[in-house]
Structures are given as C-alpha cells and as structure tokens.
Amino acid sequence: MDQKCYSVAIDGPAGAGKSTMARRAAQALNFVYVDTGAIYRTVAYAALSRGLSPEDGDAVTALLPELRVELSWQEGVQHMILNGCDVTAEIRKPEVSDGASKVAALPVVRDFLMETQRDAARTHSVIMDGRDIGTVVLPDADVKIFLSASPEVRAKRRLLELQAQNRAATFDEVLRDIKERDYRDSHRKTAPLRQADDAVLLDTSELSLQESVDAILNLIRKKTGL
C-alpha cells in the first residue's frame, strides 16, 4: 500500500518568516520543503538575464516557451534548475527578489508554473509556502496556515538578515519595501494574497523563531495525527 502524501500550505506576506519556519518544520517531519518563491525567482532571473523587465507581460510571455524550470532536492535542500543549469545562488540577488513579485502578478506565469508546484505535492509529503498556496495551488491541502506578523516586526527580521549578509539597508527602507510588497501582493488581479477560509491564522509577532516552528508543528500534528 502506498504511503499517503500529506500537503501543508503556508501562506503569508513578505518577511513573515515563511521559508525559514516551513523549512525547519519540514525537516522535523521528514517532509520535503517546497519554496515556491524560488520558482518565481527563477522566471524573474531568466527575464532579467536576457535584459527584459519582469513587468513587461508581453516580453515575459514570449520568453516562457524557452524555459524549462525544474525542482531538485540535494540533501534536503531545494535547488532550482533552469534549462539544465543550477541557478539556486543567482536567484537570491535583491533585484531578482523584487522581480519575482512582479512576474508573479502575471497570470500567464502563474499558469505556467502551477503544474510544477502541484506535481511536487503529488509525489512527496510537502510543506509549501507562498502567497496563494492554500487558496489556489493546493486548495485541498491537508493543513493550511496563514503566517503573519506586523510590518514593523517583519522589517526588523528582514534587516537582521540583510545585515548578516553584509548588505547595506536601513530599517525605514526595509519597512517601506515590505509595505509596498504587501500592497502589490494583496491587490494583484490574479491570485492575490489572502487567508484561505479554512486556514489557521498564526501571528508570530510575539513569538521567537523556535516558538513559531513549534506552533506550526503542533497545528500540523493536530490536523494529520502524525
């Protein structure tokens, strides 16, 4: 008898810590962590590397047939493969991060990447994080969590990450970027950021990283019986 594959959808705004928390929870449960943001970053990287604007819908649409986007896991770490080349490091640059939000607003890009995401959930027990996982990508997920925190807390966390990477930034700049990203993600026409009706809201503003991960694990175990 085949073992059941469980799917966990974690949605939330930029800087909520979705990736870090989802990754740690997946490790604890021996699930595969799927970073959907990295998938969109890969398309943004492909556009930028060809001198195209991620906001240019016509140019990005014309580019898609030339792209083969694949997921690979090496020692539990997700790698992004673009046309046979590992671009995992390249897609983490700030300009690619900003471009990812812009290409994600294009319906044609979301449709193009939908099957890549769903296929991962069909073949593995996954924790998948993003903006529309519980509402669009995996509407039948076993567990849905909407992870959030105040913009100020998210900006503080993001600033610490940037400082650890020796990147110059101020709190005000990071806070402004997060608020702009929130507005863009929640007001886009296609699959806007919102909490699924059956998702559990988890506000981590007052929680440490480990407390947040523990809360996620408790929710998953309660829902699945694992």
Residues 138 and 118 sit within 8 Å (Cβ to Cβ): yes
Residue 157 forms part of a structural domain: yes
User: Which residue in 27, 23, 51, 48 sits closest to 37, CA to CA?
Assistant: 23
What's 162's domain CATH number?
Answer: 3.40.50.300
User: Which residue in 222, 226, 217, 225 sits closest to 21, CA to CA?
Assistant: 217
Do 132 and 213 lie in one domain? The reply is: yes
Do 88 and 133 lie in one domain? The reply is: no
* pTM of the entire predicted model: 0.81
User: Which residue in 143, 136, 157, 151 sits closest to 216, CA to CA?
Assistant: 143
Residue 2 forms part of a structural domain: no
Residue 26 forms part of a structural domain: no
Q: Which of 63, 90, 124 is the last residue of a domain?
A: 124
> What sign has the CA pseudo-torsion 60, 188, 171, 21?
negative
Q: Which of 87, 103, 124 is the last residue of a domain?
A: 124
Quote the CA–CA distance of 5 and 168 in Å, as a whole number.
42
Q: Which of 77, 99, 124 is the last residue of a domain?
A: 124
Residues 26 and 77 sit within 8 Å (Cβ to Cβ): no
Distances (CA, A) of 86 to 51, 75, 167, 201: 20, 15, 24, 35
Do 54 and 92 lie in one domain? The reply is: yes
Residues 131 and 104 sit within 8 Å (Cβ to Cβ): yes
Do 174 and 209 lie in one domain? The reply is: yes
Do 144 and 103 lie in one domain? The reply is: no
Residues 41 and 47 sit within 8 Å (Cβ to Cβ): no
Do 134 and 191 lie in one domain? The reply is: yes
Q: Tell me the pLDDT of the chain (226 aa) as tens digits.
A: 457 899 999 999 988 888 889 999 999 999 999 988 899 999 999 999 999 999 999 999 999 999 999 998 888 788 999 999 999 999 988 889 889 988 988 999 999 999 888 988 998 899 999 888 999 999 999 999 999 999 999 999 889 888 888 888 899 999 999 999 889 888 877 778 889 999 999 999 999 999 999 999 999 999 998 8
Per the structure, how many domains does the chain have? Answer: 2
Domain containing residue 160: 7-17+128-221
